[in-house]
Each structure stands twice: as C-alpha cells, then as structure tokens.
Structure 1
Amino acid sequence: MNDRKFFEEYRTGETRETTGRTITESDIVLHAGQTGDFYPHHMDVEWCKTQPFGQRLAHGTLIFSVAIGMTAGTINEESLTYGYDRLRFLRPVFIGDTIRVKVTITDKRPHRQPDKGMVVEGVEVVNQHGQPVMVCEHLLLVNRK
C-alpha cells in the first residue's frame, strides 16, 4: 500500500502497532546461513543447555530485521530511511517466542536540506509476555510540502 505523508503531517506521539510474529528454528538457521553467524548461542542445543539461558537464542540482527520488516506495511513516497540509532537488545528471544512492534513518533526536526525534515520513530519490540526485547530509533528523511 502506498501513502503520501509529508513532514508537516507527522505528529509527535502518533503510534502504530503490528500483529505478532513467532520466531522459528527455521528463521534462526536461515539467518545464520545468510550472515555466517553460526555461533553456538544460536546453533548448538547441547552447548546452550550448559549456559545461563539453557536454550538457543535468536540472533539480535534477526530480531532487528524481522521487527523492522513488520513495521513496513505502507510505502510513504515522501520519505526514505536515513538510518537507525540507539539500537539495544534488552532480552533474549527464543525459538517459539512471538514478537510484536510498537512505533511512536518521538521527534521532528529540521534537516540541513531545507526541503526535507527528520522524523524520529521510537521502535519497541516486545515478546508474548509484553517484555521489551529490543529498542531503537528509526530516522526518516521526509519531504516538506
């Protein structure tokens, strides 16, 4: 779906939320193959049994990728992703955990290009227990009217 939303139309405090997505063993194996990250934390069931969490963890980069993809339902023809700041992994995500994402507009500010503005989205990923597992800021470069 496409939408045209200019810098002036964003409102601090606006939110949107996604539905859930369950992280599977296949997600972890595919991500390991794509990235080359075959660390035992993600791949070795027996080794993980000897560790504090007792089970395999999803890659932080997998959770970041999936979560951001979950928020990308609408294409705004007036904005581009400028980057991500303050990325933190707060809790592990395990096979079978279900994540959902809440996005909140936290800031709007001028940009050095006068025909654009910067919109900051706070991204919070929570598990099925409502516990935050990842946070970051998504920076959008948005055209002005």
Structure 2
Amino acid sequence: MNVVDRYLEDYQVGEVRRTLGRQITEADVVLHAGQTGDFFPHHMDERWAIEAGLGGRIAHGTLIVSIAVGMTAGDVNPQAMSYGYDRIRFIKPVFIGDSITVKAEITEVSDHPRRPELGRVDERVTVTNQDGDTVLSLVHLYVVNKRS
C-alpha cells in the first residue's frame, strides 16, 4: 500500500474508483459465520436454502459490506478517516461462487458541521455481481483534514 496525503480540497465530486473482481467462497462464508456467530441456515445449510426457495446458500450481507469496503481500500491516507456508513441496502443475494466488483464514486464534499478544521466526503459504493446486477449499495462517509 502507498501512503498518500489527500486533503479535503483534493477531492472532486464525480471521481470514480473501480475494483477488479473477487469471488465469494465457502471459506469466506464459514469464517464470517464463526466471527459473527451468525449461523442462520440461509448461510450454512444448502438443503434448507434450496427448500426455502433461495436457490442455494447466500453470503451474509455484512460479509459483502466488509469485503466491498476492503476492496476499495487501496492507499493509506493519514488525512482521512472513515466516519461510518449510511443507507446500506442489500439489493440482491450474493451466492457462494459469485464474483463481485465495486464502484466507488465521490458524491459530496463539504465542510464538517461542527469542526471547522475538517471536512466530510461522501462516497457512493455500488457492488455488482458477475451478471452486472447491483447486489449492494451504501454511502461511505469520511472525515478529512483541510489543508489550511
């Protein structure tokens, strides 16, 4: 990873980053279940998932959020820090064996409402599967130091 100093003034609405694909594996799902304690049959029991009409085991939504955010984390920026996530939507299920790609677009650059030395950057994160279907959408919020 590179260390890149980007201040609020360096961000532009409309900037887009795109990732390469990543396949979701059974190991991903099993490890996430163990870490979170979410062993619901939707994720762990193939027969149950098929009989429930799901078409097979589906990955945890929180797993896909974690992987998608990790896929967009390329450079370390000491001038910015994650402030949280808004409007998280699990639009379509992600199945074991699906490949996902991520698009991250800057949608807003603004002053921080309470801290004049900081700004805020909103980034729309859209996750698609191998068929081009949107499976997840969220807004990643950052607080960013101002240059001055």
Q: TM-score, normalised by structure 1?
A: 0.98
Distance in 2 between residues matched to 1:109 and 1:92, nearest whole Å: 33
Which amino acid in 1 is paired with 2:58? L
Distance in 1 between residues matched to 2:55 and 2:101, nearest whole Å: 24
Cα RMSD after superposing both structures: 0.6
Q: Which residue matches 1:142?
A: 144
Residue 54 (structure 1) shift: 2.1
Residue 66 (structure 1) shift: 0.5
Q: TM-score, normalised by structure 2?
A: 0.96
- 2:106 equivalent to 1:105: yes
Which amino acid in 1 is paired with 2:126? E
Q: Which residue matches 1:123?
A: 125
Distance in 2 between residues matched to 1:62 and 1:123, nearest whole Å: 15
Distance in 2 between residues matched to 1:115 and 1:94, nearest whole Å: 44
**4+ aligned runs moved over 6 Å, structure 1:** none
Which amino acid in 1 is paired with 2:59? A
Q: How many correspondences in the alignment? A: 145
Give % identity: 54
Listed as ranges, the gaps of 5+ residues in structure 1 are none
Listed as ranges, the gaps of 5+ residues in structure 2 are none
Distance in 2 between residues matched to 1:42 and 1:126, nearest whole Å: 19
Which amino acid in 1 is paired with 2:142? L
Matches within 5 A, 1:1-145: 1-111=2-112, 112-145=114-147
Distance in 2 between residues matched to 1:88 and 1:128, nearest whole Å: 19
